[in-house]
Amino acid sequence: MDIPWVEKYRPKRLREIVNQKQAIEKVEAWIKQWFHGTPKKKALLLAGPPGSGKTTTVYALANEYKFEVIELNASDERTFEKIRRYLDAAYTMDIFGKRRKLIFLDEADNIEPSGAHEIAKLIDKARNPIIMAANKYWEVPAEIRNKAEVVEYKRLTQRDIMQALFKIIKAEGIFVPKEIVAEIAKRASGDLRAAINDLQSVVAGGIEDARDVLAYRDVEKTVFQALGLIFGSDNAKRAKMAMWNLDMTPDELLLWVDENIPYIYYKPEDIAEAYNAISRADIYLGRAKRTGNYGLWKYAIDMMTAGVAVAGIKKKGFTKFYPPKTLRMLKDTKEERGIRDSIVKKIMKQMHMSKLEAIETMQIFKTIFENNLDVAAHIAVFLDLGDKEIEFLAGDKEKAAKIKGKTLSIHKKLKKAGIEIKAKMEKAGPRELEEEIEEEPEEKTAEVDTTKEEVSEEEKESEEIEKEIEEAEWEKEEKYEKVEKIDKAKKKGKQATLFDFLKK
Ligand SMILES: Nc1ncnc2c1ncn2[C@@H]1O[C@H](COP(=O)(O)OP(=O)(O)OP(=O)(O)O)[C@@H](O)[C@H]1O
pLDDT in tens, the chain (504 residues): 467 898 899 999 999 999 999 999 999 999 999 888 888 899 999 999 888 999 999 999 999 999 888 887 765 666 666 666 665 554 444 434 456 788 888 888 877 777 788 788 878 887 888 999 998 878 888 889 999 999 999 999 999 999 999 999 999 998 888 888 998 898 888 889 889 988 887 887 776 666 665 655 554 457 888 898 899 878 887 888 787 767 677 888 899 999 899 889 988 888 889 998 998 898 888 888 777 777 788 888 999 999 999 999 988 776 778 877 655 444 445 567 678 888 988 998 888 887 777 877 887 888 889 888 999 999 999 999 999 999 999 988 889 999 999 999 898 888 887 766 556 655 554 444 434 333 333 333 333 333 334 445 544 544 553 454 344 444 444 443 443 444 444 444 443 333 333 333
At residue 426, the pLDDT reads: 58
- Read off the pTM: 0.49
211 C-beta neighbours (distance < 10 Å), count = 11
Q: What is the pLDDT of residue 457?
A: 55
Indicate which atom in ligand 1 lies nearest the CA of residue 133.
Answer: 25
CB of 105 sitting under 6 A from ligand 1: no
Separation in Å, CA 261 to CA 33, 174, 180, 443, 469: 48, 30, 28, 56, 45
Considering the four listed CATH numbers 3.40.350.10, 3.40.50.300, 3.90.1150.10, 3.40.50.720, the one that applies to the domain covering 20-152 is 3.40.50.300
Give the Å distance between the CA of 124 and the centre of ligand 1. Answer: 29
Which of 196, 301, 299, 295 is closest to 253 using CA atoms?
301
What confidence score (pLDDT) does residue 455 get?
47
The CA 147 to ligand 1 mean position distance, Å, reads: 25
Phi/psi for 442 (5° steps) reads -65, -35
- Is 54's C-beta closer than 6 angstroms to any atom of ligand 1? yes
- Strand, helix or coil at 4? coil
Within a 10 A sphere around the Cβ of 214, how many other Cβ atoms?
18
Query: Distance between CA 259 and CA 367 in Å, rounded?
Result: 9
CA of 65 to the centre of ligand 1 (A): 20
CA neighbor of 415 nearest in space, from 457, 477, 459, 357: 477
Q: Compute the distance from residue 154 Cα to the ligand 1 centre, in Å.
A: 12
Residues annotated in a binding site for ATP = 48-55
CA of 139 to the centre of ligand 1 (A): 21
Name which residue sits closest to atom 27 of ligand 1, judged by CA.
50
**What φ, ψ does residue 175 adopt, rounded to 5°?**
-120, 125
Helix (H) or strand (E) holding 399: helix 397-428
Bridge partners for 106 per DSSP? 73
What is residue 4's predicted lDDT score, i.e. its pLDDT?
A: 84
Residue ranges covered by each domain of the chain: 20-152, 158-224
Predicted pLDDT at 50? 87
Q: How far apart are CA 219 and CA 492, in angstroms?
A: 51
Q: Which residue type is seen at 287?
A: R
Q: What is the CATH number of domain 158-224?
A: 1.10.8
Q: Is the CB of 280 under 6 A from ligand 1?
A: no
Ligand 1 binding pocket includes 53 (Cβ within 6 Å): yes
pLDDT at residue number 154: 92
